[in-house]
Homo-oligomer: A and B are copies of this chain.
Amino acid sequence: MAESPVRRPGGRSAHVRTSVLDAGLAELVDVGFHALSLEGIAKRAGVNKTTLYRRWESKEALMLDAIRERAAARVPIPDTGSLRDDLLTLVRTAIANLLTPEVQAMVRVGIALAPHEAAVATMVDSFWTDRLAVDGVIVERAIRRGEIPPVDPAELIEAVLGPPYFRALVAGRPVTDDFLVRTVDLVLNGVGADDTARC
Q: Does A114 contact B (CB under 8 A)?
A: yes
Which of B114, B148, B194 is close to A193, meaning CB atoms less than 8 Å apart? B148
Smallest CB separation, A196 vs chain B (Å): 10
Which of B109, B166, B187 is close to A191, meaning CB atoms less than 8 Å apart? B187
Complex-state Cα separation, A149 to B186, whole angstroms:
13
A132-B187 CB under 8 A given contacts A83-B193, A162-B162, A166-B158? no
**CB under 8 Å from chain B, chain A span 168-191:** 169-173, 179, 182-183, 186-191
Complex-state Cα separation, A188 to B191, whole angstroms:
5
Q: Does A72 contact B (CB under 8 A)?
A: no
Contact check, A128 vs B171: say whether CB atoms are below 8 A apart: yes
Q: Does A110 contact B (CB under 8 A)?
A: yes
Residues of B within 8 A of A193 (CB): 83-84, 142, 147-148, 188-189
Q: Does A159 contact B (CB under 8 A)?
A: yes
Residue of B nearest to A170 (CB): B165
Contact check, B199 vs A189: say whether CB atoms are below 8 A apart: no
* Chain A positions near chain B (C-beta within 8 angstroms): 83-84, 104, 107-112, 114-115, 121, 124-125, 128, 132, 142, 147-149, 151, 155-156, 158-159, 161-167, 169-173, 179, 182-183, 186-195, 198-199
Can you offer 29 A-B residue contacts whose CB atoms are under 8 A?
A: A104-B115, A108-B111, A108-B115, A110-B172, A114-B172, A124-B170, A125-B171, A128-B171, A128-B173, A155-B179, A156-B186, A158-B166, A158-B167, A159-B163, A159-B183, A162-B162, A162-B163, A162-B164, A165-B165, A165-B170, A166-B166, A169-B169, A169-B170, A187-B190, A187-B191, A188-B190, A188-B193, A190-B190, A198-B198
Closest 5 CB pairs of A and B: A162-B162, A190-B190, A162-B163, A112-B112, A199-B199
